[in-house]
Amino acid sequence: MRTVAVLPIKTLAHAKTRLADELTSGPRQALVEAMFSDVLTALRRTSAIDRVVVVSADNGVQRIAGGHGAEVLEDTDSGHSDAAAVGIAWALEQGVERVLLVPGDTPLLDPGELTELLAMPTDDRSVLIVPDRHGPGTNALLLTPPDALAPSFGEGSAQRHYSTAAEQGTAAQIVSVSTLALDVDTPEDLTALSETLAARHGGAAHTRGMLNQLQRSRG
């Protein structure tokens, strides 16, 4: 079954504004680029993913994506769900059987865990919902086929995705994937990421290096 990973990415200048009290614009952008690079690396190392598609209006994001061999689709920066829909439409045009929607700010993503997710048995029309570490949000959707569900990200989206799928008669399941659970939006998320990386060896090389650089710059 051909699988495409779709990453909707905001314009870097508008990314992670809730970290503004912790990081100024330049370091914030550098951190986003590092996390994005780690996600692309993990996806490239997952053999069950045939192609990676990045949807973004940002030239810097597009350049990084191209450097990792990803397909680049232009976006109007209209929002995460709309950008995801652009990737889904492209996948349908290409005859792809399923789509994995994944964010660019989950640098802990492990190819092994992702392979296990993609190997889970599912119905011909199904949705696997991966929540964030707090529970209510959605950090990933595995859609079979790509139009099995219209993505609707934001507050409470995990239950919303589940309920919408049920209303449509689409098989849905909420699945925990530990290395997809931690996305970075708030200072608390950034602290949790730093602590997790400090407690383990290897992984998230770009993000780890950037956080070390930011720490050194603070003295």
- One-letter-per-residue 3-state SS of the chain: CCEEEEEECCCHHHCCHHHCCCCCHHHHHHHHHHHHHHHHHHHHCCCCCCEEEEEECCHHHHHHHHHCCCEEEECCCCCHHHHHHHHHHHHHHCCCCEEEECCCCCCCCCHHHHHHHHCCCCCCCEEEEEECCCCCCEEEEEEECCCCCCCCCCCCHHHHHHHHHHHCCCEEEECCCHHHHCCCCCHHHHHHHHHHHHCCCCCCHHHHHHHHHHHHHCC
Q: Which amino acid is residue 16, in one-letter code?
A: K
pTM: 0.95
What structural domains and CATH numbers belong to the chain? 3-217 (3.90.550.10)
Over the chain (219 residues), the average pLDDT of each successive run of 10 is 94 86 91 97 97 96 96 87 96 97 97 97 97 95 98 95 96 97 95 94 94 81
Give the pLDDT confidence score for residue 219 in this predicted structure. Answer: 57
Give the pLDDT confidence score for residue 76 in this predicted structure. Answer: 78
Phi and psi at residue 73, in whole multiples of 5°?
-115, 140
Give the pLDDT confidence score for residue 172 in this predicted structure. Answer: 97
